[in-house]
Each structure stands twice: as C-alpha cells, then as structure tokens.
Amino acid sequence: MTAEPLLDVRDLDVVYPGKGFRASGFRALNGVSLDILENETVGLVGESGSGKTTLGRAVLGLAPVTAGRIEYRGRDIAHLSRRERRALSSEIQVVFQDPYSSLSPAMTIEQILAEPLTAGGTEGKTARARVAGLLDAVHLPADAGSRLPREFSGGQRQRIAIARALALDPKLIICDEPVSALDLSTQARVLDLFIEIQERNGVAYLFISHDLAVVRHISHRVAVMYRGEIVESGDGDQVTAHPDHPYTQRLLMAAPVPDPDRQEQRRADRHRLLAAQAEADEQAGAAIGIG
C-alpha cells in the first residue's frame, strides 16, 4: 500500500469577489499546499484573517476556488457541480466553531441527526436506529433525540454537531475551531472525544484552530498560516514547540504559559525575540535598500 494522501491541496488560490463594479477581490488564500493522510490529524494554526477557515471552506466547496487543485483520493473536487458535491457528503464532513448557530434551532436533535441519512436515501426506521448509535458514540443520553438544541450547553451542542458529522461515516472531517467557544474543562473532554472517535472509526481531521496548545494536543502534523499562506509545516511537536519561522515563533511566544514564573521567563524571551526579529528585518530592509 502506498502513502497516497486522502486529501491533497495544491497551489490553492481563493479570491473573494469584490463588492461593486470592477472592485478588486480579496485574496484569502495564496498558493496553499497541504495534504492529509488517512486517519491523520493535520492541525492548521493561524490568527484571525490568516485564511485558515477559508481553506476549510474551500475543501467543503463553500468558498470560491480561483486556481489550484483540491484532490480527494486522486480526484479534483475544487469545481464540482452541486449534484457531485452532494454525492461527496458521505466522504467529507464538517464541525463548525459556533455550537450555537451550527444547529438548526427549530429541529429536534433526532431530526438534525437523521437529516443527512434520509437525504442520502436511508429509510426512516434505519435512520432512527443509527441516530441512537450516534448519540451513544458522542456520549449523550439516548433520550436527547427528542429535544431542541437550545436545551443543551455549548459542549453538548458540539457533541451533537460531531454526531451529525459522523452520521454518514465520512473519511475526512473539517473541524473549524470546534472547541474555541467552549470552557476549559469542556474543551479538554471534547478534544478527547475527537481523538477517541478517530481511533475507533478511522477518520482524518483537518483541525483548524488559533490555539497552539489545542492543535498540539490533537494533531499528528501541524501547518501554520499567516496572511493567506502556509509559512511553516511539519511534525506536530516540532512546529508547536520548536518553530523555525519567525511568525510561528512570535505566535508561540505570545501565548501565555499558565505558570507565573515560567510566564515571566517567556515574556522576557518574547521581548528578546521581537527585538531580534525587528533588528533582522531592519538589516534585511537595509540590504534591499543598498541592493
């Protein structure tokens, strides 16, 4: 068996059209390349506006791809018709960040979970049985099915969203900041659920987050995005603990350590790093000026 990637993104550009006549568009992604193997978690770290969410949406067919390829099992899925995209729903799924707006407020949990199944042609009875299994898989009680989303806390809603993503037994789940809106202890439990499901069901994650610690916890490999480009990528431990790229270094140093003394140390390190980088930039600028 060869190490054929499950998802292979190559030189992807996404430009959102500008508003109004002849307005220039907004380039959200610029030549992004990334691949994900089966059963693998690739973490995607970046700050707001870095394009990390756009990359996830492009894979899901929710963002306009202007150039480049997105190959899923060797087939380009960047420009699928609606019908072809629907057929792909059993392969690629999503868990969004906001557990409050990602569940339809007027539908019961059972309806939400059964919907992707019945849309794919599963019979009602089979679907209901599957829903019970899904609730169990995300550790929610079986009677949760008859309730509305608003009766659940953020963590529970995120479990429901995970169950919905799992309904069609996909091979790849795009996780767009799935734990960012959750409390600390809930966050840890939901992350463990993600890992548990991965080990049990054999699914790959593109795990998007702004939090290096979260990404480090769940990812096999990590890619760092900055202004629409991937600036650093590689082994999870390497990127999140000993980064090479100046931006990743700044990102790592900016995250406060939950320990007063070590944070004092990190603060000093950060100031030193910033000073060093500023100096390097100045020299680089001077060199360009001379040249």
Q: Which of residues 20-79 bind another protein (CB under 8 A)?
A: 33-35, 37, 39-42, 47-48, 60-62
* Binder of another protein out of 2, 19, 24, 125 (CB under 8 A): 2
In the complex with another protein, the residue whose CB is nearer, 11 or 290, is: 11
Q: Name the residue nearer to another protein (CB basis): 76 or 181.
A: 181
Q: Is 1 in the site for another protein (CB under 8 A)?
A: yes
Residue 60 vs 208, nearer CB to another protein: 60
Q: Please tell me whether residue 218 binds another protein under the rule CB under 8 A.
A: yes
Minimum gap (Å) between residue 291 Cβ and another protein: 28
Residue 290 C-beta: closest distance to another protein, Å = 26
Distance of closest approach, residue 129 Cβ to another protein, in angstroms? 18
Nearest residue (CB) to another protein, 143 versus 282: 143
Cβ nearer to another protein, comparing 3 with 290: 3
Q: Which of residues 100-129 bind another protein (CB under 8 A)?
A: 100-108, 115-116, 119-120
What is the rounded CA–CA span in Å between residue 115 and residue 112?
Answer: 5
Which string of x and - marks every residue 160-199 that binds another protein (by CB under 8 A)? -x--x--xx------------x-xxxxxxx-x---x----
The residue from 7, 65, 70, 230 that contacts another protein (CB under 8 A) is 230
Q: Is residue 144 near another protein by the rule CB under 8 A?
A: yes
> Residue 57 and residue 54: Cα distance in Å, rounded?
5
Contact between 276 and another protein by CB under 8 A: the answer reads no
Minimum CB separation of residue 244 from another protein in Å reads 13
Tokens of 31: 């030549």
Nearest CB to another protein, comparing residues 201 and 287:
201
Position 254 contacts another protein (CB under 8 A): yes
Q: How far is the CB of 96 from another protein (least distance, A)?
A: 4
Q: What is d(CA 153, CA 143) in angstroms, rounded to the nearest whole number? A: 16
- Told to check if 248 binds another protein by CB under 8 A, we report no
Residue 243, both tokens: 């980064």
Residue 188: is it exposed, middle or buried by C-beta count within 10 angstroms (0-12/13-18/19+)?
middle
> Measured from the CB atom, is 127 or 287 closer to another protein?
127
Q: What is the per-residue DSSP string for the chain?
A: -----SEEEEEEEEEEPPSSTT---EEEEEEEEEEE-TT-EEEEE--TTSSHHHHHHHHTT-S-EEEEEEEETTEE-TT--HHHHHHGGGTEEEE-S-TTTSS-TTS-HHHHHHHHHHHTT--HHHHHHHHHHHHHHTT--GGGGGS-GGGS-HHHHHHHHHHHHHTT--SEEEEESTTTTS-HHHHHHHHHHHHHHHHHH--EEEEEES-HHHHHHH-SEEEEEETTEEEEEEEHHHHHHS--SHHHHHHHHHSPPSSHHHHHHHHHHHHHHHHHHHHHHHHHHHHHHH-
Place of tokens 């969203």: 161
- Give the interface segment with another protein, choosing from 65-73, 126-134, 245-253, 283-291 (CB under 8 A): 245-253
